[in-house]
A = this chain, B = another copy of it.
Amino acid sequence: MIQSELTTQNPKIYIFLPLYYTLWADSVLTPLEIEEMKSLISRQKWINPIEKNMLIEHLNPALPPKPKLLKSWKKEIKNLEISADSGLTSIGLKLVEKYDPDAKFSEAEIKDFHHTELALGLLGKEAGYAFRTGHDTITTSHVSDSSFDVAEMIALLDGDQQKIIQKVKKIISDPSFAYREYESLSDQREQVLAWCKVLSDHGLGAWAFPKFAGGKDDMKGYFTIMETLSYHDLSLVIKFGVQFGLWGMSVFFLGTDKHHKKYLKDIGSLELPGCFAMTETGHGSNVRGLETTATYDHRAGTFTIHTPNPDARKEYIGNAAVHGQMATVFAKLIIDGEDFGVNAFIVPLRDQEGNLVKGVQIEDCGRKMGLNGVDNGVIYFDNVVIPKDQMLDRFSTVNDEGEFESEISSDNRRFFTMLGTLVGGRIGIPRSALSAAKTGLTIAIRHGEKRKQFGPEGGAEVPILNYRMHQRRLMPPLAASYALHFGLRYLTKRFLERTEEEAQEIEALAAGMKAYTTWFATATLQECREACGGKGYLSENRIDALKNDTDVYTTFEGDNVVLMQLVAKNRLTEFRQEFGDMNMFTIFNYVVSQAKTSLSEKNPLIIRSTDQAHLLDMDFHLSAFKYRERAILASAAQRIKKHIDEGMDSFDAFNVVQHHLLNVGQAYIERIILEEFQKEIIATPNYGVKTALTQLCQLFALHTIEKNRGWYLEQGYMEGVKTKAIRKEVNQLCWEIRKNALALTASFGIPESCIAAPIAKI
């Protein structure tokens, strides 16, 4: 109609044009829409029958306007100057005015058109956007804007480790460390070994060793090295960790002077590549059940290392498939037919030319989901004889009379004491995992800033990081990565300063932090992959490697589910130490009464408070975390007691509450993390940094509470109005933190050469 098909002399007809365009452009014309329009037309007394017919004809779904005609309508309207809040009727009136400045409509008529607009669901100014150029929205105009000094934040995160961090970053930023594609498994393994050699040449391998072995006696620095290397390549980190951490530290911590003097220097310089051979095919989590034997021969002064059955072969052993020349082997010591539990021995695997030692058989574990730069292997020992002084004898020895000696009577306890000295792995791994997560977040957040997709009708496309769901995906893990940074710093400090009395507590803390952080890394990298869409799937953008290399972190150094059970059991027995002379039953009762007290502490005003100041209050957060930790532990204890009282075997009772125990561990770890994050904030003098961290801490706290809101509601600790208000705060914090997001990832200080992803180029 109009212009093309009808020679109407009535410019007032133009009032219909925006309605017609919108109806035809947006969707199929429904019978109801047709009815609504027909009735509008019929009510217009100023239209003559021919015009009416023409208008009605143009509502026939079988005879839609030609595409070109539809376009011409739009063009006609777009030529007008339309103000920002014009609806379809006012646009129509403007069009009429253009052709006939004197044309008039009564107020009733205009109202009628407005009514139809509404009835058709064409909301006011919204419908008008199709005819305007430019359409600004809050979503469009939200931009990055750092509220703090990045250098200050970096200084805080690095703490007293700045020097070693800089040193490591300089090395891994060298062009010789550039990523490349590998032609084969072997190519990749040799590259990683070569990189490892460079690191040890720079003295990094021996860093934690004594000075006589070329080291710095600096365990804290060693953890920092692991963490910083993790920005680069995870295969490299694990190869490094196997050689200097597992192999080196097992000699260091389980051996004595003679072993240190003999081996540590060559281990630190990578002259002597070695393995840590504990896990067996049949026994991974339940290591105390392992079956390899070390049989003592007093006359010969030797041990014979043997794999008694295929399930007892050592499996997944890093450095074993190709490079390892020696290994710390865990085996049951047999003297005169008597089993003295698991002990550790240094056993040769290959000579310097790489030929296998007689009796040693090695298979390659082959391709893995990730970490393909590490040569994991399977080892069988067929009566391999080693001299007596190859036993790592710090905790037990065989004396000159051929008798077993140890200050620890119980085989189990001795073995777990040995393992306790190696708990550093449960610090190195989560710190490495966190670095990988930080890299993933840096890539995904930069991509989210650059990538634009969709936008308001007629307006510019919007950076995807401005979409609330995208923020929901990336901001909570960003906040959690800061929280974990401080949490792991605390764990490291506790570990380095530990006394014997604290050992068990810190082992449990390390186990829990390892599980929590590695699960976090897995989940975060999965989100990052998806948040980068197809680009995230291309290997060149690195999320592939980050995700797949770290995937096994939830398994090695202890399966996370097993570790969390261990944490929970430790929490249950903590009570024993805390409450002195109470026995297990008294403790159960105490715990139960404690929980009851807490319940009565709940203030009816607080449980339904939606006051923003309250919701953002650090004390509220910590109270909520502590309440959960205490109550969930108490109820676990109560349930176990109940089952046992009813005659259930304790093994079954613990199995029945296993899911509950996992939450006990999680609640404990979350409380620790929040507490440490808050402490760091309180101690931070810089205003900008403090404010930015406070937001992150609030998000971490509220997002965690939101995740557990089912539990809080069940307990009556919060009411629905409050958990809903918390959800809103989480959304709002995500929206606010998004502005700082680029600066917050810049503060991780990851070398650009390590980020490397083309989508993350800035």
Are the C-beta atoms of A583 and B457 separated by less than 8 Å?
no
Bin chain A's interface residue count: 35 or more
Q: Assuming the A-B contacts A121-B583, A551-B537, are A407 and B522 also in contact, with contact meaning beta carbons closer than 8 angstroms in the complex? A: no
Residues of B with C-beta under 8 A to A453: 283-286
- Bound complex: CA of A576 vs CA of B33, how far in Å? 11
Q: Is A627 an interface residue (CB 8 A)?
A: no
Are the C-beta atoms of B652 and A138 separated by less than 8 Å?
yes
A549 to chain B, nearest CB (A): 10
A 151-192 to B, binary, CB cutoff 8 A, 1 in contact else 0: 000000000000000000000000000000101100000000
Are the C-beta atoms of B714 and A365 separated by less than 8 Å?
no
Partner of A409, one of B66, B183, B409, B412: B66
Partner of A644, one of B68, B123, B414: B123
Partner of A468, one of B409, B560, B659: B659
Are the C-beta atoms of B548 and A533 separated by less than 8 Å?
no
Are the C-beta atoms of B655 and A139 separated by less than 8 Å?
yes
Are the C-beta atoms of B409 and A65 separated by less than 8 Å?
yes
Residues of B with C-beta under 8 A to A468: 655-659
- Bound complex: CA of A574 vs CA of B215, how far in Å? 71
Are the C-beta atoms of B534 and A556 separated by less than 8 Å?
yes
- Bound complex: CA of A409 vs CA of B67, how far in Å? 4
Q: Assuming the A-B contacts A32-B581, A534-B279, A655-B467, are A67 and B121 also in contact, with contact meaning beta carbons closer than 8 angstroms in the complex? A: no
A665 to chain B, nearest CB (A): 11
Are the C-beta atoms of A365 and B533 separated by less than 8 Å?
no
- Bound complex: CA of A554 vs CA of B185, how far in Å? 29
Q: Is A552 an interface residue (CB 8 A)?
A: yes
Are the C-beta atoms of A539 and B366 separated by less than 8 Å?
yes
Q: Is A649 an interface residue (CB 8 A)?
A: yes
Chain B's closest residue to A727 (CB) is B659
Are the C-beta atoms of B659 and A472 separated by less than 8 Å?
yes
Interface stretch among A42-50, A398-406, A484-492?
A398-406
Are the C-beta atoms of B409 and A24 separated by less than 8 Å?
yes
- Bound complex: CA of A406 vs CA of B65, how far in Å? 9
- Bound complex: CA of A560 vs CA of B121, how far in Å? 28
Residues of B with C-beta under 8 A to A659: 468-469, 472, 731
Q: Assuming the A-B contacts A138-B652, A456-B649, A576-B121, are A539 and B367 also in contact, with contact meaning beta carbons closer than 8 angstroms in the complex? A: yes
- Bound complex: CA of A404 vs CA of B543, how far in Å? 45
Residues of B with C-beta under 8 A to A580: 32
Are the C-beta atoms of A529 and B409 separated by less than 8 Å?
no
Residues of B with C-beta under 8 A to A649: 126, 137-138, 456
Partner of A123, one of B65, B543, B650, B714: B650
Chain B's closest residue to A709 (CB) is B710
Are the C-beta atoms of B368 and A412 separated by less than 8 Å?
no
Copies of this chain, complex-wide, total: 2
- Bound complex: CA of A551 vs CA of B534, how far in Å? 10
A157 to chain B, nearest CB (A): 29
Q: Is A217 an interface residue (CB 8 A)?
A: no
- Bound complex: CA of A330 vs CA of B556, how far in Å? 48
Q: Assuming the A-B contacts A453-B283, A659-B468, A715-B720, are A67 and B652 also in contact, with contact meaning beta carbons closer than 8 angstroms in the complex? A: no
Which A450-470 residues have a C-beta within 8 angstroms of B?
453-457, 459, 461, 466-470
Are the C-beta atoms of B583 and A407 separated by less than 8 Å?
no
- Bound complex: CA of A92 vs CA of B289, how far in Å? 28
Q: Is A559 an interface residue (CB 8 A)?
A: yes
A410 to chain B, nearest CB (A): 4
A 111-146 to B, binary, CB cutoff 8 A, 1 in contact else 0: 000000011110100100000000101110000000
Q: Is A662 an interface residue (CB 8 A)?
A: yes
- Bound complex: CA of A366 vs CA of B544, how far in Å? 13
Residues of B with C-beta under 8 A to A731: 656, 659
Q: Is A34 an interface residue (CB 8 A)?
A: no
Are the C-beta atoms of A538 and B656 separated by less than 8 Å?
no
Residues of B with C-beta under 8 A to A526: 522, 526
A 282-306 to B, binary, CB cutoff 8 A, 1 in contact else 0: 0111100100000000000000000
Are the C-beta atoms of A662 and B469 separated by less than 8 Å?
yes
In the complex, 7 of the A-B residue pairs with CB atoms within 8 angstroms, ordered by the A residue number, are A139-B652, A285-B453, A366-B538, A367-B539, A456-B649, A466-B655, A468-B655
